[in-house]
Structure 1
Amino acid sequence: MFTEIRDITDSNKQEILGLHIADEQEGFIETVVQCLNEAKEDPRFVPVGLYKENVPIGFAMYGPFQYPDGMRVWLDRFFIDEHYQGKGYGRYYFKLLISFLADKYSCERIYLSVYENNLVAIKMYEKFGFKFNGELDVQGEKVMVLNLKNMQW
């Protein structure tokens, strides 16, 4: 299986805009349009398409942000299109993104945030070794962090 993380450009933007989450996931993550607009306003955000055999099946957005305690790499958005859910792609691409970010930024930790009632996502994040750190992000989501030295996979 050939898979790839691709930057979003004019040539693939329309196909990425065609990605959608399942109805029961509404409210847990912004739409692709909202994410792309946010990335346009803040160039620290990097939106990417998740491809399998040249077909977009997911979306993610990440970026490095400066904090008083140093640089934090955030995996800010992540989803698999509703038509490809339940087939193991979420775990596969999540692991791929973690490795990609670790290599790209040579970081020791990766951060993300999640609504406390998004139990499916929390369960997956915890399986990868993410732990709550007691912080809340600006949207009131709970912050989780993965210490890459303690990866469980």
Structure 2
Amino acid sequence: MEITLQEVTKANYENVCDLDVSEHQQDYVACNMWSLVESMFNQNHTTRAIYRDETPVGFFMWVREDTNKVSIWRFMVDSKYQGQGIGRAALQIALEEIKAVENIQQIEICYNPNNPVAKDFYGSFGFIEIGMDEDNEDMLAVITL
């Protein structure tokens, strides 16, 4: 099983839009279609399809907030492919790609504090919780480079 991140293009965007999480995860993840639309009309948004071999199985979107910071806004693995280590492998690849961006000093991610696995999962990559976001809705965690 090979996990890769590939650009979202005209050839694969429909497959990415068809990906979805399980019903109990719906409150934690934004719709991929909405995310792709958002990325088309805003600067500094990067989208990637997560592939297992030749099959799209997930989605990432991150935003360069300023010259020093990137925020991961979207990260999901389709419900049919969860529990196989795909998310862990994909996040490692995404972090390597983000860290290669010139001048990046901080990577941040927000997640629902009620998500039972998020803190430990992101913490295992070095994200440290720093408190609730500015809207006081999601937990903010950062990696400082």
Q: Same fold (TM over 0.5)?
A: yes
Q: Which has the higher contact order (CA 8 A, sep 6+)?
A: 2
Query: Which ranges of structure 2 fall in alignment gaps of 5 or more residues?
Result: none
Distance 2:26 2:35 in 1: 14
1:130 alignment partner in structure 2: 127
> Which of 98, 101, 109 matches 1:101?
98
Contact 2:47 2:62 survives alignment (8 Å): yes
Q: Deviations over 1:68-127 (max 9, x none)?
A: xx6311111111110110111111111111111111345232111111111212220011
State TM-score, norm by structure 2: 0.90
Q: Secondary structure at the match of 1:26?
A: helix
2:25 alignment partner in structure 1: 25
Distance 2:5 2:102 in 1: 16
Contact 1:113 1:137 survives alignment (8 Å): no
> Which of 73, 77, 81 matches 2:74?
77
* Aligned-pair identity (%): 23
Query: Which ranges of structure 1 fall in alignment gaps of 5 or more residues?
Result: 149-153
Q: Considering only aligned residues, what root-mean-square deviation do their CA atoms show, in Å? A: 1.7
Report the number of matched residues.
145
2:41 alignment partner in structure 1: 41
